[in-house]
Amino acid sequence: MLIVMKADATERDIAEVERRIAELGYRPHTMPGASRTAIGVTGNDRPVDITRFETLPGVAEAIRVTKPYKLVSLDLRPDKSVVRVGDAEIGGDELAIIAGPCAVESREQVFAVAEAVRRSGARFFRGGAFKPRTSPYAFQGLGEEGLKLLAEVREAFGLKVVTEAVDEASADLVDRYADVFQVGARNMQNFSLLKRAGRSPHPVLLKRGLSATVDEWLLAAEYVMAEGNYNVILCERGVRTFTQHTRNTLDLAAVPAVQRISHLPVVIDPSHGTGKNHMVTPLARAGVAVGADGLIIEVHNQPELALSDGAQSLTLEQYGQLVQEVRAIHEAIAHAPVG
Amino acid sequence: MLIVMKADATERDIAEVERRIAELGYRPHTMPGASRTAIGVTGNDRPVDITRFETLPGVAEAIRVTKPYKLVSLDLRPDKSVVRVGDAEIGGDELAIIAGPCAVESREQVFAVAEAVRRSGARFFRGGAFKPRTSPYAFQGLGEEGLKLLAEVREAFGLKVVTEAVDEASADLVDRYADVFQVGARNMQNFSLLKRAGRSPHPVLLKRGLSATVDEWLLAAEYVMAEGNYNVILCERGVRTFTQHTRNTLDLAAVPAVQRISHLPVVIDPSHGTGKNHMVTPLARAGVAVGADGLIIEVHNQPELALSDGAQSLTLEQYGQLVQEVRAIHEAIAHAPVG
Amino acid sequence: MLIVMKADATERDIAEVERRIAELGYRPHTMPGASRTAIGVTGNDRPVDITRFETLPGVAEAIRVTKPYKLVSLDLRPDKSVVRVGDAEIGGDELAIIAGPCAVESREQVFAVAEAVRRSGARFFRGGAFKPRTSPYAFQGLGEEGLKLLAEVREAFGLKVVTEAVDEASADLVDRYADVFQVGARNMQNFSLLKRAGRSPHPVLLKRGLSATVDEWLLAAEYVMAEGNYNVILCERGVRTFTQHTRNTLDLAAVPAVQRISHLPVVIDPSHGTGKNHMVTPLARAGVAVGADGLIIEVHNQPELALSDGAQSLTLEQYGQLVQEVRAIHEAIAHAPVG
Amino acid sequence: MLIVMKADATERDIAEVERRIAELGYRPHTMPGASRTAIGVTGNDRPVDITRFETLPGVAEAIRVTKPYKLVSLDLRPDKSVVRVGDAEIGGDELAIIAGPCAVESREQVFAVAEAVRRSGARFFRGGAFKPRTSPYAFQGLGEEGLKLLAEVREAFGLKVVTEAVDEASADLVDRYADVFQVGARNMQNFSLLKRAGRSPHPVLLKRGLSATVDEWLLAAEYVMAEGNYNVILCERGVRTFTQHTRNTLDLAAVPAVQRISHLPVVIDPSHGTGKNHMVTPLARAGVAVGADGLIIEVHNQPELALSDGAQSLTLEQYGQLVQEVRAIHEAIAHAPVG
């Protein structure tokens, strides 16, 4: 169920609705919007009696939700969500750029890359300290030591840190050192981790699984939000298909598909989405042109020496050029003549 | 085998190489380029003795080709091909826009749409007279009558006509009435039709099959070119994957993939590539941003009454808006600051 | 529309219904069954007035068909179709085995293989004379000369010949020399070829396309049947997916899926369905166990020298072993205790 | 690296090799086989000096492993692994049948189903107490209470309990109450969970991920084994493709693919592999025919009331019939005449 408050509903009206919901053993999720506040209800295992709420002061409407998702939906929040990360944001007017190496390898590496990222005007730094690797014998990341290096980068360059957690223990550390809690593609339906992300104090960047439908992806976001963390950023990073010219097939139509259903911002990962250096910039341009809110890009100061994903990492120079190109496109769309 | 001529090779040198190739029972394919001419050799069922050619006047180099494709390859023509269709072109500096209804239905319909297409500045008109339909009981197109209407559109609006042939009989008619011979996705490996297209006097627009790899697609183009028709335009129109939010998954990474191997121009079909009206414009923008040479767009004066593919057709207004947006992006890329 | 005749309807009743259908400009498709005859109606572009028929003598029921397929459907013929090819059959109690080389290469080759095929007790010989090849430079088959060798095989061994047509010209030759007209996977939606197959005097073996849904496959069969050729055998030969351990993914669930909708027999092609020699026999066993009516198997007397598809061809010995194993399974299913 | 011991190597020889490996900081994995023992080495981040080992008493050979997997490989153990679960086994001569409801719902339910499972002669009972569900609002399982019911089933019927763990907390409970630790498809690359399974005292049933290649699946097994738990059973349960007639596409070719690389047993899940009641039995037959070591089947006493996956659950009667059919096929293969 979803309760839409009138435009002139008071804080007290809202609090009273919340109280009534809690009284029934359910959980209220209050989403203030530009013109009105809506309150989602979860935790009910059967339909809620709508009439209980329709007559409360300040309530415009109580709506039965028939779709599988509630909190991610435009029904609950018709305005687009802007996720705030300190003084930066994702989903607003500015194009969000998240850049950095696949894996944190050394202080020298992260500082060299972070300097270039900062110089480009980007606000977010990515880098993995816990790497989910297909083989148990591959480099699995520096762990907490890597997170400390990322925290140093934040201090030195003022960049917000985006990094992945893979389980309970790493989640605690990510909460401590990072600014954005990333859930990787392979864990998109690791529901325990999603619930844990929902209890993080940080916004969550949720990558789409390799064979996830848009519905499954939104329901994964719903898992996070149902725990009370409404700051979710979706990330399209390519799906698995029969094609062989790329490691994954970047599904850019997922962006308008999401935007038709959900208020959540979406960013594009053309690095994992293609797996090939020479395709990252063209697909980054396409991602911005399709209407994504941002990009997440792998950059390395020495891609040929990278401990993971070197083949898809941009050099610092390539990255600088990419930023100029995508900004030009972002600008062009913003000012495109409206028919 | 591939014979690269020196920059100062004469017409006579080239003719002599061609003569020697023909003498062996093989076929020469001469591709003039900006700085040099290359001659591809087909028809040999075993490796050709390279030394026969290396000492001929004007020959710079004779190269054994180990890849499955020869004529589509950048090895043969390192400069990008520009396909000329009368006074229009695809693959040059200007963005090529091909627009029109899925199927030709009536004079009123094609004239209404063509007027809007012409007004937008596009140079190409699309429309099907022979429709390959999944069901034998669905509308299969107006046939020759439809082609005549397309020819009228050309007369009235100066638009070049792009239309599909599906077999020998329809190919003869398309040759007679149209400007570009389209091979549809379902026929991408109908090798008899590909050879027939290779004998058409017109350029060939070759759609990628629903489950074709980039290699298979390029080899389909090679079939056309091996018959002597070097004017091939590739068209990405989406591939079939597990996703459900679109009819097909538009694989925009195919554009840089093709550009790394082949000199042929590539256009994007966001109408079939998504199957949904609200996604056509975002994906058209993405197609231009990724670096495609053009777009092919379904437009209908009354989409709700369309005899086929109405759900994905744009209205005339939506189409006008799309053209403005993609032009803005094409402009932005052309003038993007180079690092 | 579909008209179901009473069990005691006379030939004359049936003829009268057919006459009335033709009178309206439509086409009657009469399907005699074990207990009753049904008559499908095609060619109507709008719903037919059912009441016209319900009162005719011998008519039990006139049914509006809402599904996209009519003639392939169990509604029209509730009993399974048995396709007769001379004194052999596909779809009856006996397991149909179609075996032979991918491509006809020489008299020596086809005779060596045919001898083993005959010895195994199989009734059908396969071999391609027109090979649809991905590359224009690959061996494309011996053409009519190959068909003549196949006809010699029929004479010498009494095997029925199954071979592929790819266009109008090859279809005429296949009609002349062969017993079963094969439509290959790449041509499954070559609708002109399907219509041509519908006018062949021979049964049609229709391979599923690499990315065809079951519905599209059945509608391709509908194209053949709508022309009046009701002897269609479906062939599952693997679909294209992300997997890499096989050339295609054999979709055995397609067999019960088809059987729930259609009366047409289905055979399995584990050779193309896997593309690997060591997988052919296990998947052939699985194909029989899932309930297919037969198998089509590539066998070569010298697989290492095969001009096409050698990697998946069985040796004569492997083939002999396969036949014993699948017969044991076919037997086991026939006699499985029924609960 | 992999050290193969001579047939007459003593326990002491083996212990000495293990000691030397440990001394270098690596981990020895000793796999006794029918004719010889091999010792895999993991934990080395660079190639090990082979000559150190080749001269030790009892060592036949030291082999550098170049493939990404070591412990799952036939190189390490050329004989097929038989996984023992108490007095039952998977991978031996007998067909292993694991049957039960999707989710544990009540004592009445599990006892009704277990009675039928026991009666069929199956040795394993399945049932989920922790259900990974796409929606946060769907029934998530009874948790520990469900595990207790499963333990009661074991007591009452002597069936071995197979059940899924989804995180650290549930893993502890599964260790306590169950006999086989299941890792679900959605967690196949949840590497933390895989490592945890590697420390379970129980055998691990590892489902293939929805878009996992065979290599990725085997590497997931390698994660479990690298922790010292060598009792892994692989389970094919269908992959995600474009097809629409099934929920997933059961990839039976994965069975011979695995058997060519690995000594691990493989079972088939035709319930999730098809998602449709009427397909479960045909695909179960096919799974046995292709050479799988067992089946895992969803059975429910009242499928129409099931809290999850009712559409694919068999009734008790259907299940009984399935067991008879698959046993007949298993028998037929065992006794198939060998050429």
- Answer whether B193's CB lies under 8 Å from B171's CB: yes
Query: Do residue C136 and residue B191 have CB atoms under 8 angstroms apart?
Result: yes
Closest CB to B253 among A249, A291, A328:
A249
Given this model, what pLDDT does residue A339 score? 44
Query: Do residue D136 and residue A42 have CB atoms under 8 angstroms apart?
Result: yes
Residue C211 has pLDDT above 50, yes or no: yes
Distance between CA B332 and CA A102 in Å, rounded?
Answer: 30
Residue B71 has pLDDT above 80, yes or no: yes
Distance between CA A5 and CA A19 in Å, rounded?
Answer: 15
* Digit-coded pLDDT (tens) for A215-247: 999 999 999 999 999 999 999 999 999 999 999
Question: Nearest CA to CA, how far is C248 from chain A (Å)?
Answer: 10
Spans of chain D below 70 pLDDT: 337-339
According to DSSP, the β-strands at C37-42 and C27-32 are antiparallel
Which has more confidence, B310 or D169? D169
Question: Nearest CA to CA, how far is D336 from chain A (Å)?
Answer: 37
Q: Measure the CA angle with vertex C292, ends C165 and C316; round to 5°.
A: 70
Distance between CA D216 and CA D219 in Å, rounded?
Answer: 5
Average pLDDT, chain D: 94
Closest CB to D189 among A132, A193, A216:
A132
- Answer whether C160's CB lies under 8 Å from C179's CB: yes
Distance between CA C98 and CA B170 in Å, rounded?
Answer: 35
Say yes or no: A164 contacts chain D, CB-CB below 8 A.
no
Which residues of chain C are within 8 Å of residue A241 when distances are taken between CB atoms?
Answer: 242
Distance between CA A74 and CA B122 in Å, rounded?
Answer: 37
Region of A186 on the Ramachandran plot (φ > 0 left; ψ -120 to 50 alpha; else beta):
alpha
* Digit-coded pLDDT (tens) for C285-336: 999 999 999 999 999 999 888 887 778 999 999 999 999 999 999 999 988 7
Which residues of chain A are within 8 Å of residue D219 when distances are taken between CB atoms?
Answer: 134-136
Which residues of chain A are within 8 Å of residue C240 when distances are taken between CB atoms?
Answer: 242
Which has more confidence, A250 or D139? A250
- Answer whether A15's CB lies under 8 Å from A30's CB: no
- Answer whether C13's CB lies under 8 Å from C56's CB: yes
Query: Do residue D289 and residue C335 have CB atoms under 8 angstroms apart?
Result: no
Which residues of chain C are within 8 Å of residue D279 when distances are taken between CB atoms?
Answer: 253, 256-257
Could you write out the DSSP letters of every residue in B238-262?
A: -B--S--SSSSB--TTHHHHHHHHB
Which residues of chain A are within 8 Å of residue D223 when distances are taken between CB atoms?
Answer: 136
- Answer whether B294's CB lies under 8 Å from B90's CB: yes
**Band of pLDDT at residue A338, cut at 50, 70 and 90:** low
The terminus-to-terminus CA distance of chain A in angstroms comes to: 38
- Interface A–B counts its CB contacts (< 8 A) at 155
* Digit-coded pLDDT (tens) for C117-132: 999 999 999 999 999 9
Say yes or no: D242 contacts chain B, CB-CB below 8 A.
yes
Six token digits for residue D36: 């010889």
Domains and CATH numbers, chain B: 2-63 (3.30.70.1140), 83-334 (3.20.20.70)
Distance between CA B40 and CA B18 in Å, rounded?
Answer: 10
Residue B148 has pLDDT above 50, yes or no: yes
**Among all chains, which residue has been given the structure tokens 């996604």?**
B279
- Return the closest-CA partner of residue C237 out of C270, C189, C281, C265: C270
**Phi and psi, residue C160, nearest 5°:** -80, 140
Six token digits for residue D252: 């039976």
- Identify the helix (H) or strand (E) that includes residue D274: helix D270-274
* Digit-coded pLDDT (tens) for A296-317: 999 999 988 888 777 899 999 9
Beta bridge partners of C205: C182, C233
Task: Calculate helix-pair angle for C316-334, C107-119, nearest 10 degrees.
Answer: 30
SS3 A262: strand
SS3 C201: coil
Query: Do residue D190 and residue A191 have CB atoms under 8 angstroms apart?
Result: no
Beta-carbon contacts of residue B204 (< 8 Å; ≥ 6 apart): B180, B181, B182, B183, B197, B198, B224, B229, B231, B232, B233
* Digit-coded pLDDT (tens) for B281-294: 999 999 999 999 99
**Band of pLDDT at residue B304, cut at 50, 70 and 90:** confident
- Identify the helix (H) or strand (E) that includes residue C124: strand C124-126
Say yes or no: A268 contacts chain B, CB-CB below 8 A.
no
SS3 B283: helix
**Band of pLDDT at residue B48, cut at 50, 70 and 90:** confident
Which residues of chain D are within 8 Å of residue A223 when distances are taken between CB atoms?
Answer: 136
Say yes or no: A334 contacts chain B, CB-CB below 8 A.
no
Q: Measure the CA angle with vertex D167, ends D163 and D168; round to 5°.
A: 105
- Return the closest-CA partner of residue D332 out of C290, C280, C337, C327: C327
Say yes or no: C192 contacts chain A, CB-CB below 8 A.
no
Segment 36-65 of chain A within 8 Å of chain C by CB:
none
Distance between CA A335 and CA D11 in Å, rounded?
Answer: 78
Query: Do residue A137 and residue D68 have CB atoms under 8 angstroms apart?
Result: yes
Distance between CA A236 and CA A252 in Å, rounded?
Answer: 8
**pTM given for the model:** 0.95
**Percent of chain A surpassing pLDDT 90:** 84
Closest CB to D190 among A70, A136, A190:
A190
Query: Do residue C135 and residue B68 have CB atoms under 8 angstroms apart?
Result: yes
Given this model, what pLDDT does residue C339 score? 44
Query: Do residue B166 and residue C191 have CB atoms under 8 angstroms apart?
Result: yes
* CA dihedral of B114, B116, B118, B120, whole degrees rounded to 10: -150
Say yes or no: C242 contacts chain A, CB-CB below 8 A.
yes
Query: Residue B33, CB half-sphere, CA atoms under 13 Å: how many?
Result: 21
* Digit-coded pLDDT (tens) for C219-250: 999 999 999 999 999 999 999 999 999 999 99
Radius of gyration of chain A (CA): 21
Which residues of chain B are within 8 Å of residue D240 when distances are taken between CB atoms?
Answer: 242
- Contacts of A among chains (3+ CB pairs under 8 A): B, C, D
Beta-carbon contacts of residue B37 (< 8 Å; ≥ 6 apart): B5, B9, B14, B30, B31
Beta-carbon contacts of residue A108 (< 8 Å; ≥ 6 apart): none
Distance between CA D176 and CA D25 in Å, rounded?
Answer: 32
Say yes or no: B240 contacts chain D, CB-CB below 8 A.
yes
Closest CB to D219 among A135, A167, A219:
A135
* Digit-coded pLDDT (tens) for B172-200: 999 999 999 999 999 999 999 999 999 99
- Answer whether D131's CB lies under 8 Å from D167's CB: no
Residue B240 has pLDDT above 70, yes or no: yes
**Percent of chain A surpassing pLDDT 70:** 99
At A233, the amino acid letter reads I
Six token digits for residue D219: 């590497």
What's the rounded mean pLDDT across residues A250-262? Answer: 98
Beta-carbon contacts of residue B237 (< 8 Å; ≥ 6 apart): B185, B207, B208, B248, B250, B268, B269, B272, B273, B296
Report H helices in B163-264: 168-177, 191-197, 214-226, 254-261
